[in-house]
Structure 1
Amino acid sequence: MQSSFASNMVPHEESLPDILMRIVAELHDVAYLIERIEPSISDNHAGQHLGVAEKLMVMQGIDLAVQKTRGLAEFIDTIAAGIPEEHLVDVATALNLVKLADMQKALSGGGLRHGHSQPLNRAAGDFDLF
Structure 2
Amino acid sequence: MSNSPNDPGGNPNEPLNDVLERISGELVDVAELIERLEPLLSNDRSTEFLASPDHMRIMQGIDLAVQKARGLATFIEGIGDRLDADQLVDISTALNLITLEDMKRRLRAPIHEAPSADIYQKASGDLDFF
Structure 2: gaps spanning 5 or more residues: 1-6
Structure 1 residue 122: Cα displacement: 2.2
- TM-score between both structures, scaled by the size of structure 2: 0.82
**1:55 matched residue in structure 2:** 55
1:71 has 2:75 as partner: no
* Normalised TM-score (structure 1): 0.82
Task: Choose 15-24 or 101-110, whichever is displaced more.
Answer: 101-110
Q: RMSD of the alignment, in Å?
A: 2.6
Structure 1 gap segments, 5+ residues each: 1-7
Alignment of 1:38-49 (within 5 A): 38-44=38-44
- Superposed CA offset, 1:85-110 (max 9, x none): 00001111011011100000000016
- Establish whether residue 107 from structure 1 lines up as the match of residue 101 from structure 2: no
Hey, what's the Cα distance between the residues in 2 that align with 1:42 and 1:9?
A: 49
Would you say how many aligned residue pairs link Structure 1 and Structure 2?
121
Instruction: Measure the CA separation in 2 of the matches of 1:121 and 1:85.
Output: 35
Structure-1 residue corresponding to 2:4: none
User: Which one has more relative contact order, counting CA pairs under 8 Å at least 6 apart?
Assistant: 1
Matched residue type, 1:97: L
Preserved contact between residue 9 and residue 92 of structure 1 (Cα < 8 Å): no
In the other structure, the counterpart of 1:19 is: 19
Q: Deviations over 1:21-78 (max 9, x none)?
A: 00000000000000000100011359x89x7111111000000000000000000011
**Whole-angstrom CA distance in 1 between matches of 2:123 and 2:112:** 23
- Please tell me whether residue 95 in structure 1 is matched to residue 95 in structure 2: yes
Match of 2:80 in 1: 80
Aligned-partner Cα distance in 2 for 1:123–1:92: 30
